[in-house]
Structure 1
Amino acid sequence: MTDLSALTRLCPPPQTQPAPVDWDRVEAELGMQLPEDYKQLASVYGPGSYGGDYITIYHPHGVTLYVNLTGPMPSRIREYLQRDYDQGTYPVPYDPQQLFAIGGTEGGQKLFWITEPESPDNWCIAISEDKGPRWFTYDGNLTSFLVAVLSGEIDVPPFPNLRGLPTDFTPSVPPAFEVGDPPMREPVNTEDIRNWARANGFQVPMRGRIPREVREAWEQAHPA
């Protein structure tokens, strides 16, 4: 059984076929080849989130610039890592130039491809704490990582909130308004937003997606 077959059995994809991706254009825009498992994953599931909306994977058709594979976020996250790497703020265990951000979690973790060796199909997955020193490396591709996490096959000690996630996929819904270029804002742990929201009278779930109106209120109170 392939990794994708295992994932679709565990976590059914949308019944509606996602729009096709022009992979030649995407790879030309990124200036690099992409792993075949990712291209199959993105083609079958489309843009969205796994595990009760907890793990979001960047997609060429991402509905906002925050979750678009060819948008500004991968390079901006690399800038943060490079600064931490150069200044010794946090112990980044890899050369930031070898890390390409491919998603994140509601707990603030960032997911990366480790783009060495040269063959994309041999790239492994790294997970980092948001603004912290903890990292975890998964010796496998993105699809097998999703299978391992959603099935409970692996334990990720630095990030216990990756345990016990629902085995579902939520397609992304385009926003009702045009989203401009995201401001150059430091990454923020979603728990900080939840704590601020509760202190200011907002109702927020313990996990899962933070309601848009809460995030917008937080951003207005904390300008970039």
Structure 2
Amino acid sequence: MTAFDRLTRLVPPPSRPQWANGDWDAVEAALGLQLPADFKQLVEAYGVHHFADFLTPLAPFGGRDLLVGPAKRLLDQERGFRDRYPEECPYPFYPEPGGLLPWAGTDNGDRVCWLTDGEPDTWTVVCWNPRGWYYDAHPVGAVEFLAGWLAGDISTTVFPDAGEFAESDEDHEGD
């Protein structure tokens, strides 16, 4: 079973996902890099679905620019802190080579990123709390991380486990 199959068994995709379709070539041209295939599959199936009422993929389509614009501003937003406290920033930031590129966000303001080093389908997921400046790396892709987090097989020190939330995605099936 693929990670995507596992995810769809854990959380069936909505019948009409919001902001799920668009021009991937244009998104990748704007970013200047290719995105992992599993992320494209995730967005096309779920759009901006709110997993466990907490974690939302940053779909690059629809009413708001959740992926490209914020990604392009990331380095500028974090440069001052990194210049003052380089020891607190173990990773470069996109658009720097191999930099962190957020692909999801949480209700707490945490970011779930890729470390954009190597081929896109091999990128590592890094959970990041920009308020406390701590990171947690997971050598898996976006969908495998999401399915593992939802199933309780993957934990992060950055945000709570999915099982800690009172409502489940099943309560919102078809949203």
1:45 aligns with 2:46: yes
Q: Say if 1:47 and 1:61, in contact at 8 Å, map to a contact too.
A: no
In the superposition, relative to structure 1, how do residues 83 and 34 fare at CA in structure 2: closer, same or farther (>3 Å)? same
Q: CA deviation at 1:167?
A: 4.4
| Count of residues paired in the alignment | 167
Q: CA deviation at 1:153?
A: 0.8
2:67 corresponds, among 58, 64, 69, to: 69
SS at 1:7's partner residue? helix
Q: Which amino acid aligns with 2:73?
A: R
Separation in 1, partners of 2:162, 2:90: 21
1:79 corresponds, among 76, 83, 100, to: 76
What residue ranges of structure 2 are gaps of 5+ in the alignment?
none
Aligned-residue RMSD, C-alpha: 2.4
Q: Say if 2:127 and 2:156, in contact at 8 Å, map to a contact too.
A: no
| TM superposition score normalised by structure 1 | 0.66
Separation in 2, partners of 1:62, 1:144: 25
1:136 aligns with 2:116: no
Map 1:1-224 onto structure 2 (within 5 A).
1-16=1-16, 20-52=21-53, 54-65=54-65, 68-70=66-68, 72-88=69-85, 91-96=88-93, 97=96, 98-117=99-118, 119-160=119-160, 162-165=162-165, 166-168=167-169
SS at 2:104's partner residue? strand
| TM superposition score normalised by structure 2 | 0.83
* Percent identity between the two aligned chains: 32
SS at 1:56's partner residue? strand
Separation in 1, partners of 2:42, 2:149: 16
Separation in 1, partners of 2:52, 2:121: 24
Separation in 2, partners of 1:7, 1:63: 25
Segment drifting more, 78-87 vs 98-107: 78-87
Q: Which amino acid aligns with 2:51?
A: Y
Q: Say if 2:114 and 2:125, in contact at 8 Å, map to a contact too.
A: yes
Higher-Rg structure is 1
Separation in 2, partners of 1:133, 1:35: 26
Separation in 2, partners of 1:78, 1:139: 23
Q: Say if 1:100 and 1:112, in contact at 8 Å, map to a contact too.
A: yes
Deviations 1:162-196 (A, max 9, x none): 5534542869x9xxxxxxxxxxxxxxxxxxxxxxx
